[in-house]
Structure 1
Amino acid sequence: MTIRRGQPHTPWTTLVGAAVLALLALLTGPPAASAAPAPRESRPVYSYAHAIRETVWVDTGLDGDADGRPDRVAADIIRPAEPARQGRRIPAIMDASPYYSCCGRGNESQKKTYDDRGRPAGFPLFYDNYFVPRGYATVLVDLAGTNRSDGCVDVGGRSDIQSAKAVIDWLNGRARGYTARTGGSPVTAGWSNGRTGMIGKSWDATIANGVAATGVPGLETIVPISGISSWYDYYFAQGAPLYDGGPDQLAAAVESPGAHKNCAAVQQKLKDGAPRTGDWTALWTERDYVRAAAKVRASVFLVHGMQDLNVRTQHVGQWWDALARHGVPRKIWLSQTGHVDPFDYRRGAWVDTLHRWFDHYLMGYRNGIERAPMADVERAPDTWATDARWPAPGTAPVTVHPRPGTAAGPGGLGTRPAPAGRTAAFTDDPAHGEADWAAALDRATPDKAGFTTGPLTAPLRLSGAGTVTVTATPSTTSAHLSAVLVDIGPDTIRNYAGDGEGIRTLTRATCWGAGTPADTGCFKETAADTRPVGFTVFSRGWADLGHATDPHHGHPLTPGTPYTLTLRLAASDHVVPAGHRLALIVAGTDANLIDPPASRPTLTLDLARTAARLPVTGGGPAWARATGSDGGAVGGTAGTGPVGIAPPVGLSRMPYAD
């Protein structure tokens, strides 16, 4: 069963008639005294069935595959035919991706399709179905080295970014386009007004971030969904390796078969430039978009899952903060999902909001979207709240300290530092991770050091990113550290560790815009996949202790010597309810999330020199209200609920999967 939403299949004659009437109304218009108010949104008055579908190959100016010819990237375009006939130019919505032939896009892994003459027929996702009838072009770009494009994949580097930037330049008359991959006739974008918005999820979102960081004129807005802001932070966390692979393997996974034989040298450079030592190299500098945030001219609508363990929220947090420092107009949605598109967890609201966003920034409609609340945060499955700004207004850092407990089990967590000389120790166990530590919080286990407030007497909101500074003495020459914040208490959450990362795919479909047999615009509905839990890990940080003295280069540790290191906790927005406890756990290898060190160290924490700096909404007074000023009873367990409920399992170690 399918239900059509947004734009029904309207006969061509009706659409032409509507467009003509609309144009006549604009040209002649009623008397001023009876003039109708200006529309506040673009409307589906153009034919999708008769839209122009074409491929333009755009010259990037690079020769990544060293064949002596400039690389050309394929831009598959669908645009309404009527505006050009009326002498009107239109904006473009672009999604530049490496996935259009290898892996597909969206929850249903849609790939591009072509007719028997090689013209684009099926455009993945709903952007074309919904926005083309409303007067937008949709441009889907194959990154260099993928699908029908020349060149080589360089995983976020110059070639990747230039693949999309060159198309924006072409839309603005600054680059050359052709009717074929080789040879062909020149073609210009006379139909384009140059105003472009980029959108996409995962790698696609990353390209949007990177192109925005070039400051290219004509890019008016980007909507990155679960995007990377610095590729180093995708593969490492302060020196600790996050995946047992590198960008060369990722390039090989997405390159088109024809590119493999010409791109071995590029892949070797990726391998040589990204050693698994965790050291910062020139390769990572080139792929760090945060450092270029001052160049961003586009508005930014960020979307991210707070339980995304693929592209972790470190990326959205540091990118958001950099954009804020430079006054970039911005908006954010934070869900409780993993690596999931908002079309699949908040479909109706997402389409409506995206429509208003593009209408304002690409078509100039005065619809107030820029004055709407800045942040939408999912508080419980399908329950959302808004904030005028993000992090939440009134949020201020509160420094809290771990203290030794009064009995076997967790220590305390409060504003008073531990007495000098008090310590806590743990031994790295690569078989255990955050779920194991949290489930055993109230028991003394050798693989962790846990600290908790007493049961809260009022809700406590943490909004933004925090840090944990530790002074640790290792027993061996190598050691990794993990720090996690945990809400201890019963709840029902999205099952972010399940196959759907928080969603279930249903059999019923709804349609979002117009369609054709080759591209129906219909998609399977989804619903929240939930599960009961006894605790929720909501912020994480990892680091290699060998990078404590030099963040860019690791060094062997001297056993028995204390090292001080500040771990960056990933951005989040979480409310710990009254009756629950807030816990800080410090441990070694976080199984399935970081790789273990070469040894199995025991680490001894100097508690007097260990502290967490947390982003508490309401600052110190809010902490005092919720904890009884200092954090409550040391190691208290009352009101925790069923901690023994099974934690999420099955966390994936797959490299950069969409």
Structure 2
Amino acid sequence: MKLNLLSLIVAFVTTLGCIQAQDKATPIFENGEAQPVKAFSNPSEWITHDLWVETEFNTDGDDKPDRMHVSVTRPKQTETEGLKLPVIYVSSPYFAGVAPDTDGLFHSVEVELGDTPKERVHPEVTRRGKRPVISKSHINTWVPRGYIVVHSSSPGTGLSQGSPSLGGDNESLAPKAVIDWLNGRAKGYTEIDSNEEVKATWSTGKVGMTGTSYNGTIPLAAATTGVEGLEAIIPIAPNTSYYHYYRSNGLVRSPGGYLGEDIDVLYDFIHSGDEAKRPYNNKTMRDEILAANMDRETGDYNEFWASRDYLNDMKPMKAALLMSHGFNDWNVMPEHSYRIYKQAKEQGIPSQIFYHQNGHGGPPPFSMMNKWFTRYLHGIENNVEDNAKAWIVRENDKRDNPTSYEDYPNPEAKPVTLYINTGAPKAGTLSTTKLDNKGTETLQDDASIAGAELATAKESKHRLLYVTPTLTKDLHISGVSDITVSLSSNTPAANLSVWLVSLPWNEDKKAKITDNIITRGWADPQNYKSISKGEALKKGEFYDVTFSLQPDDQIIPEGQQIGLMIFSSDKEFTLHPKPGTALTIDLDKTSLNLPVVGGKDALENAFKQ
């Protein structure tokens, strides 16, 4: 009798334990994606707290390691049931606010090439935000799906110590320290000056990072450290090189929409950190390091810019990479993602790239992001790494419906050389036929005229325009166009701007062709030998200037013509010297290499009547 009672008790306890185990909340996966879990989905039950993670650097002059402000949002089960979950981590310099729109914040572009910039206004940022929440971004998306969401303010912003460095080492080591803390390798504290530790006992140690623009740069910065635990990143429109952001082939060039911005302007724009530390940071970082090395006089590439190019730091990187960018992003231009994607592939890192046809920002479809993090953070074998390497949103398709390709550029794309023939001040021709002894044509610089106005003018002495025959079939281009412009200048310095456009210009937003700018590029003729060192141009002497335009993947519809426009100052992007510089182009030595899917045969077939 006693034996039977004991057996019943054991059976009851075992059954109860099984029921309780079944009741424990765990992530759920379907079709290779993390699904919302009811037990994780009540925001009132989420645990939110903040802390400071100690780094291995000191950049604000107080002889103590800088501490980064971090906030955490996690399901209650990480506290009540001992559940460990992976982390989605977002870091930013913007969370605590930015500088006001102040007159004089930007550098004046009404200057002669080579002149020293005038002093500009340095606004103060008023920090905003209350503890313990740094940001609410991504929380509602990922916490219900079985992730912990972590935010941090980057050095010298918000309640994080240190100084902004705009791509300096501390902006890579700061997120590394947070990831180290999530893996038990760094110390976190309850307060900025406390010795009471906080441990991430609820973290599996697997971390994924994402973000847009500067917030997309930081995941790449962290990944270049090779930090253990950072398994996957999804940078969206990231700035991967400050030189490529503020310069172009030796030319001082603004990011689109921010004429006159430079790296020191961005420093002032984001510096929301401790007011007491700002004078030291301003003196050492802005006024000594940035001002002394950014060189707006020549635009040359130097060690300062090289140290702020993440392509140079990629060797330790191993985090799986899903890049996202817009082909019409003229702020952080599409080359930023392409150059990193290309190098990651060469290093054998699992990599995919998503491009859309719009402007700045724009994440991949949520399903792509979900599968990427599910595979690398939860370890679910969903075979995402075996999917197509490139995903392109075709013209007029929705962003969540990209077309898959074997790779980017399209493997079937081949460079086709196009030559120019006379036509100024109207339009000359652009074709695959090379004619000799075509002579020269000249344009006169006038920065007051917008590029779109030049492209649409029937004739103009301020640009040279060369157009193909009208397309009778759609034409698919994919990759990077390269151009060689042979020119002489009547002044020692000149801007050189190139647009590749689709004509006629179409203002109808519902039309099949919605953006007439195919791609663009800029260069300093003084840097025809090297972007690291320019030389004054000699009047009457010709120089061959070779450079790449921005990457693109576009289907140009039948009925359009492809136009190559060569001009000097670009009103929206370059400095604005006084009008009058004359650039003379040697037509025999100027050519464009266009990446055409199907090569020369496809291009010539598209012109047949």
TM class by shorter chain equals: 0.7 to 0.9
Q: Please list, as runs of the form range in 1=range in 2, the aligned pairs for 1:92-491 lying within 5 A after superposition.
A: 92-103=87-98, 113-114=129-130, 118-120=131-133, 123-125=135-137, 127-243=138-254, 244-256=260-272, 258=275, 259-264=277-282, 265-268=284-287, 269-276=289-296, 277-342=298-363, 350-383=365-398, 384-388=401-405, 389-405=407-423, 409-440=426-457, 443-489=458-504
On the 8 A contact 2:471/2:561 being kept in 1, the answer is yes
- Report the residue type matching 1:260 in the other structure: R
- Tell me the distance in 2 between the aligned counterparts of 1:123 and 1:228: 21
User: Is 1:581 aligned to 2:561, yes or no?
Assistant: yes
Deviations 1:327-362 (A, max 9, x none): 3222222222222334xxxxxx82232222211121
On the 8 A contact 2:335/2:550 being kept in 1, the answer is yes
Displacement after TM superposition at 1:567 (Å): 2.2
- TM-score, normalising length: structure 2: 0.84
- Tell me the distance in 2 between the aligned counterparts of 1:100 and 1:208: 16
- Tell me the distance in 1 between the aligned counterparts of 2:179 and 2:558: 51
SS of residue matched to 1:221 = strand
SS of residue matched to 1:591 = coil
Displacement after TM superposition at 1:532 (Å): 9.1
- Long gaps (5+) in structure 1: 1-19, 28-35, 105-110, 343-348, 495-529, 633-658
- Tell me the distance in 2 between the aligned counterparts of 1:284 and 1:363: 37
Moved more, 324-333 or 247-256: 324-333
Displacement after TM superposition at 1:479 (Å): 0.8
Percent identity, aligned pairs only, is: 31
On the 8 A contact 2:53/2:188 being kept in 1, the answer is yes
Question: Greater relative contact order (Cα 8 A, min sep 6): structure 1 or 2?
Answer: 1
- TM-score, normalising length: structure 1: 0.78
Deviations 1:444-490 (A, max 9, x none): 31111111111112111111211111111111100111111111146
- Tell me the distance in 2 between the aligned counterparts of 1:287 and 1:533: 37
Taking only aligned residues, the RMSD between alpha carbons, in angstroms, comes to 2.7
- Tell me the distance in 2 between the aligned counterparts of 1:229 and 1:624: 37
SS of residue matched to 2:205 = strand
On the 8 A contact 1:213/1:295 being kept in 2, the answer is yes
Alignment partner, residue 523 of structure 1: none
Deviations 1:226-274 (A, max 9, x none): 1111110111001111132432221112112524223121112111121
On the 8 A contact 1:54/1:78 being kept in 2, the answer is yes
User: Is 1:59 aligned to 2:51, yes or no?
Assistant: no
Displacement after TM superposition at 1:575 (Å): 1.0
- Tell me the distance in 2 between the aligned counterparts of 1:535 and 1:254: 32
User: Is 1:569 aligned to 2:549, yes or no?
Assistant: yes
- Report the residue type matching 1:324 in the other structure: K
- Long gaps (5+) in structure 2: 1-17, 100-126, 255-259
On the 8 A contact 1:463/1:572 being kept in 2, the answer is yes
Task: Considering fraction of residues, name the structure with more strand.
Answer: 1
- Tell me the distance in 2 between the aligned counterparts of 1:37 and 1:170: 28
Displacement after TM superposition at 1:535 (Å): 6.4
Summarize the Cα distance change of 1:163–1:534 in structure 2 as closer, same or farther, 3 Å threshold. closer
SS of residue matched to 1:140 = strand
SS of residue matched to 1:49 = helix
On the 8 A contact 2:395/2:512 being kept in 1, the answer is no
Summarize the Cα distance change of 1:37–1:299 in structure 2 as closer, same or farther, 3 Å threshold. closer
Displacement after TM superposition at 1:375 (Å): 2.9
SS of residue matched to 2:342 = helix
- Tell me the distance in 1 between the aligned counterparts of 2:213 and 2:528: 30
Q: How many residues are aligned here?
A: 548
Alignment partner, residue 43 of structure 1: 35
Which of these two proteins has the greater Rg computed from alpha carbons?
2
On the 8 A contact 2:182/2:205 being kept in 1, the answer is yes
Summarize the Cα distance change of 1:285–1:493 in structure 2 as closer, same or farther, 3 Å threshold. farther
